[in-house]
Amino acid sequence: MNLDPTKIPVHVAIIMDGNGRWARARGLPVIMGHKRGVETVETILTASREIGIKVLTLYAFSTENWTRPRAEVDALMQLLDDYLSTKIEKLKSEGVRLSAIGEIKELPDRIQKKLDEAVRYTSSNEACVLNLALNYGGRREIVLAAREVGRDIKAGKIAPEDVTEDVFKRYLFTKDLPDPDLMIRTSGELRLSNFLLWQLSYSEFYVTATLWPDFSKADLEKAVLEYQGRIRRFGGRK
């Protein structure tokens, strides 16, 4: 597929949906869909690097996912544990910097420890950023940012009239990242599911019926190609 190298989205965010449906359609336990989904993460991370995408944010575990059956939650945590244990050297060697957003301190202690080690171990990498949204909720992120703004106003660090959009952004989990240019959702659902509510204000959306475990490099290229055909006006006129 011929992509225009001058119009590659810098930041792509993905809602990885459809693991459970993929498994059930094959008569498999839901966890097998999640395992296959982890393999897809590897495929899409490699494809993103090859295409030239600089930041890839994946909605890996939401604040609402805790309501799933305990066995499924435990299995998801174990998959994350395994990924951090087995893939960190590959990330390091390929120049991928690992990042994470969300309320990380509410994850299991072993996950926090491995995640912190992995983030520090890859901190000097510059090829691209793999940003995992873990225990993440968009509304919660905005509420937490507002609280911090309020504390700083109370402490006299900033004045209320100085709180602009640019200032507020510095209180978000994504303060060190550009907003996504393109948001992809797999499995055909037409909702944001509490994902990056502030950051996606002017992102281009691409929804595919393909389930996440079946999402391929060709699917990613198709999404980017459609993105390249859109005119981004940001509320203005071109």
19 part of the active site: no
17: annotated active-site residue: yes
Instruction: Give the count of domains, the chain.
Output: 1
53 domain residue, yes or no: yes
Note the pLDDT of residue 228: 97
Of 2, 4, 65, 131, the active-site residue reads 65
Structural domain harbouring 186: 5-137+179-228
Position 148 in a domain: no
Half-sphere exposure of residue 41, counting CA atoms within 13 Å on the CB side? 24
Domain presence at residue 168: no
Q: What is the DSSP string of 8-46?
A: --SEEEEE---HHHHHHHTT--HHHHHHHHHHHHHHHHH
CA atoms within 13 A on the CB side of 190: 0
Angle between helices 70-86 and 109-121 in degrees, nearest 10: 30
Taking the chain (238 residues) in runs of 10, the rounded mean pLDDT of each run is 94 98 97 97 97 98 96 96 96 97 97 97 97 98 98 98 97 98 97 98 97 98 97 70
**CATH number of the CATH domain containing 22:** 3.40.1180.10
Identify whether 145 is part of a domain.
no
Residue that the structure tokens 């190609």 belong to:
225
**Rounded-to-integer distance, Cα 17 and Cα 62, Å:** 12
pLDDT at residue number 231? 86
Q: Is 150 within a domain? A: no
Residue 235 lies in a domain: no
